[in-house]
Structure 1
Amino acid sequence: MIQIPFIGKPCIETALGMMSGDTSGSKMRVVVVPLPAQGHLNQLLHFSRVIAQRGATVSFVATSTHIHQVRSRVEGWEFHKFDIHFEELPMPHLSGEELDAQSCHTFPIHLIPLFEAMEDQLGSHVDQLLRAICSENNNRVVIVYDSTMGWIQTAATKYSIPAYIFRPISAYYKIWSKRVSNETGGSSPFNISLKRCYPERLIKYLRRQRSLLGPAKGYIINTFSALESEFIRQGREELAYGGKPVWSVGSLLPRAFFNDERRLRLQVDTECMRWLDRQAPASVLYVSFGSISSLSVTQIRELADGLERSGQHFMWVLRISDGAHSSTEAQFDSACKFLEQGYGRRLEGRGLIVRNWAPQLDILFHKSTGGFLTHCGWNSTVESISAGVGMLTWPLHCDQFANSALITRELKAGVEVKEWENAEENEMVSAEEVEKAVKRLMTSEEGLQVRKRAQELRGSARKAVCDGGSSWKDMDSLLHHFSQSFSD
C-alpha cells in the first residue's frame, strides 16, 4: 500500500468533516475505484483531485501496475500536492488466455480477461481494504466506483458504506443506445449494431455489473449542463438512472488549462511540443486513437497515405494498445514499422510521428492545434471540447459511436470521417476518405464553422467549472450529499 501524504495547501471553503453540523473533527474519506483502462483511470484521478481540492481525503484504489500507469501520465497538476492516497491491489492472475493487444478486433479484447479476473480474484482484497479504511476513519467513508465495476458494490453494502456510481461516458449514450439495433439484428439511424460496438463476452460482463448497482445512492457524470442538459433531462424522465440523483461535474480538467497556463508539461521528451511551437496557429491536425485500441496494418497504411495526400500538417501518435499487465511505452516503435519506408523523411516538417507517450492535454490546448482526428473516447472528447478543438470522428467500438453522433449531429463540433455502411462489421477507411475528411475539417467553410462551434463550447466548459458555474454547483451538491449520507 502506497500512501502519498498531503503537502500542499488545499483549496477549500468548508471542511467536509464539519459539514451538516458535524463537530466530531473526523474528516471524510472518499474511496475511488476505477476500471483499469486509461480513459477510466484518468477521469477518476481528475475527479479525485477536484474533491481533494474541496477538502476530502481520497483513497484511489487500483492495481500497482495501473497506479504506476496513471501517475506516470498525469498532466497539468502534481498529485503529491493533494490529499490523495494510492492504495494498491495485487494484479490478478491471468491464465494463458490473455489475448493479443495487437488483435485485429477493434475492441481491445485482450483486456476482458483482466476485468473478469479482478471481479473473480480481488473481492477479498477490496473487502479487507474497506474494513481497514472504515476502522481508521470512524466509518466516515463513502465510495465512488466506475459503473463497469459493479462488483465493488458488494463490499460497500457489507460495510454500509454509502456508494456512488461514476459514469465515464456521455449522458447522450443512454439516448443513442436505444436507437441502435440490438444483438438480434435490425438497423438504426446510425447503421451501427451493438454487436459491432461490444463483443458478446463484454456484453455479458457489463450486464452482470449493471445488475449489482441497485443499492448505490446516485450517479456522477463527467459532463456539464451546457453540453448535455437535454440528454440528462431525458435520462431522468425515462428513469435511465433509476430515479436517483445525477450530478454533472465536468469538465474535470485542471483549472490551469482553462487559464491558458499551458506549459505544465510532463518530464518526458518534448520533441512534439517543440515541433508544435514552430507551426502556424490552428494549422495542425492531431491524430490519436487512444491508449487501448490499435488499427490493423492495412488501416495504418491507408491512414498514412490519406494524411500525406491531404497536404495538411499533422501530428500522429502511432502506437499499439496498452496490454492487460502493463502500458506499452516500450513498444511504440513496433507500430511505426508498419509505415512505408521513407514515409517520415518524405513528410519531414509537415508531419510528425510521435513515438513516445504524447501529452495530449498540452497538445490539444496548444495554439497550433486546429483539429483532432479521434476515436471519440469520452475522455478524449471532453478534453477536445474543453480545449475548443474541432474533431474528425473515427469511432472504433463501445460508446464511441454515440460520442461521434453527439459531436457531429447534435453539437456540430466535428465531422465524421465517413458514413458507415456495414452495421455488423468493422469497415476499412480508405486513403481517399481520409484525405477528403481531413480537408473538410481543416480547409472548408464547413470546417471553419465546426471549429468556431468548438470554441463556443470551450467557453461553456470554462464557465461550468468556475465559481458559481453549473458543474461547480453540482460538485457542491454532491459533497453535501456525501456528508448527509451518514445521517440517512
Structure 2
Amino acid sequence: MFADAKKIMVFIPLPIVSHLVSAVDTAKLLADRDDSLFISILIMKRTPDTKISSYITKSPHPRINFLPLQENNSIASGSMGDKNWVLALAESHKCLARDVVVEMMESQKGRLAGIVLDMFFTPMIDVANELGAPAYINFTSGSAVLGLLLHLQSLRDDDGKNLKEYKDSDVKISIPTYVNPVPAKVWPGKVFEKETGFLECARRYRETRGIIVNTFLEFEHHAISSLSADAKIPPVYPVGPMIQGGGEESDENKRKREEIIAWLDKQPHSSVVFICFGTRGSFEGDQVKEIATALENSGVRFLWSMRKASPKESVAFPGEYENLEQELPEGFLRNTNGIGKVIGWAPQMAVLSHPAVGGFVSHCGWNSILESVWCGVPVAAWPLFAEQQANAFQLVKEYEMAVEIKIDYRKDSGVILSAGKIESAIRQLMEPKNKVRVKVKEVHDKARAAVVEGGSSYNFLGRLLQDIMDNAH
C-alpha cells in the first residue's frame, strides 16, 4: 500500500543556528541525491539564538520545509542556564513533536522513512519508536570525539567507573578512536558532571539505526574504522565535510564583509594570520592585552575578530565592542596600522578562502577545523570549551597538523596565557616551511575528493540513503 506513497524524513535539530544549519545541510545532501524524498525540519520556538527566525525564512530546497512546533502552555519553561536544559527541552517537546508528525503524515499521505535527531535530542528516540520509524543521530562533531563519548559512557555504565575521579588529573587512557592515549584534561568538561545528561545521550546513540557524522574517511580513518568494527555501535556514516555558509547576512554584515575582503586584497599571499574564536568565543581584559602584545611583537600581518563577552549569567552570544580602542593596549592600533586589522564579526569562510590568509588561530570548533582543512589553512590550537580540547588534541598530537598554543586550556579556568607563548605559536604557524602546512595541504586535497561522485563521503551517503529507502518500502 505504501509503494507509491511519498517518503518523508523528519529532522529535529537543537534550536541554535549552527545545529540547525548542520541539519539543513544534511537534509540537502539527502534530498539532492534522491528525488523521491521529502524532508520536514521541526523548529522549536524556545531558543537563545535570535538568528533562527531569519535563517528559516529562506527556502533551502524545493523538497525541504520547516514546521514550527507551536508551544502550548503546559510545557515547563526550564531555564537555558540549567545544566541539562537541552535534554529538558527535548523531553518537554516529545508529545508536541509526535502530534505534529502524525498530523503531517496524515495530511500528506506519506510514509515516514526516518527521524534524524540532533546529537543532544536523544529523548526524541521515544517519538521515533512510538511511530515505528528508525531514528538516526546527526552528530555535529567528529568521529574521534564520538568514540570518546561512547567509550567514557561504557566505562561509567558497564565498568562502574566514577568519571569525576579523573577530573583535573594527569591520567591518560586508551580510547579506540585515537592512536595515542587521551589525557583526561582534554575530555569535554560535561562528561564529569552527571547532571548534564551528556553521557546519557551517548548511551542512547546505541539504540539508533545509524549515526551521521560531518567528517570524511581520509581525515579520520582510524576513528571511523574503529567505530565500524564495534558491533555495539550503530553504523557510522561520514558524509562530510559539509561546510557551513554564513547563512543570510544583514546589510550591515555585507558592508563589513566587503571592507574586510578589500583589506585582505591588499595583503601579500599567505601573509595574514586570522584570529577568530567562533560565534561563542570571546576574551576580556588582561587576555585581550596579551593577544595584542603578541601580535604587535610578532610583526606578522593579522586580522583579529575580537568579540565582546556576554554577561556571565547570560546564554546570549558574544557581541560587538562599541569602542575597540578602550579594550586594547594604548598605541596598539596606531603601531599596527597597515599590517593589522581588528574587527568584530567575521565572515569566516570568506576570510579562510582568501589567498592572503596563511594561518588561523582557532578555538578548534569542529566546523572551524573542517573549514581550515577545506581551505588548506593551518591552525594554531587554542580551545575554549565543549569538545574543543579533544579536537585540539586530535589536530596537534594525533595528526601533527596544527601548532599548539595550549590544548588543555579552558575558558572558565581563569588562566591568562602570556603574550610570549602566543607570539611563539604565531611565528611557528606562519613559518612558510612549517611541516603542518604540508600536512594540511594533503588533507585539503582529500577533503575535496571525498564529496564528489565516487569519493568516500559520496559513497557513504549512498549507503545511508539505501538504508533509509529499505525501511521506506
Shorter-chain TM band? 0.7 to 0.9
- RCO comparison, higher one (Cα < 8 Å, 6+): 1
Q: Alignment partner of 2:164: what SS?
A: coil
- SS of match in other structure, 1:333: coil
Aligned-pair CA distance for 1:169: 1.6
Q: Structure 1 residues 130-139 or 420-429, which shifts more?
A: 420-429
Name the counterpart of 1:350.
339
Query: Structure 1 residues 121 and 396 mapped into 2: Cα distance closer, same or farther (>3 Å)?
Result: same
2:220 aligns to what?
228
Alignment of 1:70-89 (within 5 A): 79-89=59-69
Contact 1:192 1:422 in 2 (8 A): no
Call closer, same or farther: CA 1:36–1:334 in 2, change over 3 Å: farther
SS at 1:247 equivalent: strand
Report the identity percentage: 25
Q: In the TM superposition, what is the alpha-carbon distance from 1:49 to its structure 2 partner?
A: 2.1
1:246 paired residue number: 236
| Cα RMSD for the two superposed structures | 3.5
Pair 81,39 (structure 1): closer, same or farther in 2 beyond 3 Å: closer
C-alpha distance in 1 between matches for 2:389 and 2:213: 18
* 2:41 equivalent to 1:49: no
Cα distance in 2 between the residues matched to 1:40 and 1:68: 14
- Deviation (angstroms), 1:289: 1.1
Rate the CA distance shift 1:339–1:409 in 2: closer, same or farther, 3 A: same
| 8 A Cα contact 2:128 2:135, kept in partner | yes
Find the partner of 2:443 among 457, 464, 484: 457
Secondary structure in structure 1 of the residue aligned to 2:117: strand
Between 335-344 and 466-475, report the one with greater CA deviation: 335-344
Equivalent residue for 1:17?
none
The 8 Å contact of residues 94 and 117 in structure 1, kept in 2 or not, is answered as: no
Paired residues of 1:224 and 1:251 also in contact (CA < 8 A): yes
Q: Is the 8 A contact 2:163 2:191 kept in 1?
A: no
Alignment map for 1:46-195 (pairs within 5 Å): 46-54=25-33, 55=35, 56-64=37-45, 69=51, 79-89=59-69, 110=81, 112=83, 114-135=85-106, 136-174=108-146, 182-185=163-166, 186=169, 187-188=171-172, 191-193=183-185
Name the SS for the 1:225 alignment partner.
Answer: coil
Output one character per residue of 1:411-452: Cα deviation in whole Å (capped at 9) or x when no partner.
222111136599995633211111000000002633xx2112
The range that moved more, 302-311 or 416-425, is 416-425
SS in 2 for 1:401: helix
Q: Which amino acid aligns with 1:459?
A: D
Q: Is the 8 A contact 1:247 1:478 kept in 2?
A: yes
Matched, 1:29 2:8: yes
Provide closer, same or farther for how the CA distance between residues 302 and 424 of structure 1 changes in structure 2, counting only shifts above 3 A: closer
Code of the aligned partner of 1:287: I
- d(CA) in 2 for partners of 1:458 and 1:274? 25
Q: Larger deviation: 412-421 or 376-385?
A: 412-421
Mapping of residues 477-488 of structure 1, within 5 Å: 477-487=463-473
Comparing 339-348 and 461-470, the one that deviates more: 339-348
- Report the alpha carbon displacement of residue 313 of structure 1 after superposing the two structures with TM: 1.3
1:401 to 379, 389, 400: 389
Is contact 1:157-1:215 (8 Å) kept? no
Q: Is the CA contact 1:94–1:114 (under 8 Å) kept in the aligned structure 2?
A: no
Secondary structure in 1 aligned to 2:137? strand
Does the Cα contact within 8 Å between 1:38 and 1:292 map onto a contact in 2? no
Distance 2:191 2:124 in 1: 23
Query: Which range is displaced more, 293-302 or 274-283?
Result: 293-302
Residue segments in structure 2 that go unaligned for 5+ positions in a row = 156-161, 173-180
Q: Mean alpha-carbon deviation: is it higher for 387-396 or for 182-191?
A: 182-191
2 CA distance for matches of 1:381 and 1:213?
24
Contact 2:6–2:110 (Cα < 8 Å) also in 1 = no
Does the 8 A contact of 1:61 with 1:86 survive in 2?
yes
Deviation at 1:71, TM superposition (A): 7.2
Picking from 286, 295, 298, the partner of 2:286 is: 298
Distance (Å, rounded) in 2 between the aligned partners of 1:70 and 1:388: 30
Contact kept, 8 Å, 2:243 with 2:367, in 1: the verdict is: no
- Report the count of equivalent residues: 438
- 1 CA distance for matches of 2:6 and 2:88? 34
The alpha-carbon deviation at position 159 of structure 1 amounts to 1.1
Assess if the C-alpha contact under 8 Å between 1:182 and 1:193 holds in 2.
no
Quote the Cα distance in structure 1 between the aligned partners of 2:351 and 2:96.
38
Distance 1:479 1:422, change over 3 A: closer
Deviations 1:182-231 (A, max 9, x none): 42034225654378723755763213333444442111111111111211
Alignment partners' CA distance in 1, 2:380 and 2:18: 19
